[in-house]
Amino acid sequence: MPALRQVAAALAALLSVGAARAETAYVSNEQDDTISIIDGATLAVTGTIRVGRRPRGLALSPDGRSLFVAVGDDNRIDVVDRATGQVAGSLPSGEDPELFVVHPDGKRLFVANENDSLVSVVDIIERKIVGEVEVGIEPEGMAASPDGSLIVCTSETTSMAHVIDAGTLELLDNVLVDTRPRAAVVAPDSRRIYVSSELRGTVTVIDAESRAILGKVGFPAPGVPREFVQAVGLALTRDGTRLFVALGPANRVAEVNAATLAVERTYLVGQRVWNLALSPDGRRLYTANGNSSDVSVIDLDRREVVKSLGVGRAPWGVVVAP
């Protein structure tokens, strides 16, 4: 009996590991007009989805059935049916969509229109643009507070984070941050906003209510020229304790203690890491490496890169679904 119990326990552990690794990652290949599909159980590329021209930003619908893809050169959002792996339709987006965010209610997309200095609000069900918000020059980064009250947009040339009331679409504040802000993310309790600065190589931390600057994070990288340390994509754990920052041409990802703002470690990944995404269980981090045309997979339990996967040309965005 003890031996049987040991076998049963071992089998349960193996099944648990398999279930924990059942995620699927999707990577947008900017120069190939495709999405690569990565199976989390085998860490292999298992398929390719043809989409519109110049795919960049990606997001999942709250029910997990649809993958939204910003195809900038076609001025639309393609909607991929995950069950079939095919584009099932599209949504209007305004001109040159790059990044966007799905509102927590699942009914609207907020899209950065880089060429028009606008955020377009798209009704997903009605498939139409229902609002616009004027922001700074070259808007890119988009984030929504988990409580659904705020939308954050970053404008590269204006070097600002714009805070928008998600209900009224009123522009509540313009917060000056470091040069060329790229991405934004909001803490799980909706109290902090994190904004990356590409040219300064920093992350600015903002109080979501008062919009005061709470602190900044710099990223020392011994042996790497200072100008190569460019903070771009961001990913925050579900509990809000760890922030992961893609450092672009430094070919590294930094892990930041969100409470102390200390950089605890860095991971060497592919060339020009642009965007990144956590697995649903928070145990893995996937990075899109634009210049090496691959994806690095970081095992956060082991604290090491465990796989490099070739995808299409110039991978840009990445999301991970259960």
pLDDT digits (tens, 9 = 90+) for 228-262: 999 999 999 999 999 999 999 999 999 999 999 99
Region of poorest pLDDT, from 44-58, 194-208, 216-230 = 216-230
- 53 and 80 in contact (C-beta within 8 Å)? no
- 272 and 249 in contact (C-beta within 8 Å)? yes
CA separation for the pair 65, 63 (Å, rounded) = 6
- The CA–CA distances, whole Å, from 114 to 69, 95, 164, 176, 321 equal 16, 7, 17, 18, 27
Q: What's 254's domain CATH number?
A: 2.130.10.10
DSSP, res 191: -
3-state SS, residue 113: strand
pLDDT at 1: 46
pLDDT at 21: 61
Number of domains in the chain: 1
In a domain, 152, yes or no: yes
In a domain, 241, yes or no: yes
In a domain, 295, yes or no: no
Average pLDDT, rounded, for the chain = 94
Q: What is the domain extent for residue 243?
A: 144-268
pTM above 0.95, yes or no: no
pLDDT band at 316 (very low <50, low <70, confident <90, very high): very high
In a domain, 122, yes or no: no
Q: How far is CA 43 from the centre of its chain?
A: 20
In a domain, 210, yes or no: yes
Residue 288: pLDDT above 80?
A: yes
In a domain, 92, yes or no: no
Q: What is the mean pLDDT of residues 6-10?
A: 45
In a domain, 299, yes or no: no
Work out the percent of the chain whose per-residue pLDDT is above 90.
Answer: 92
In a domain, 273, yes or no: no
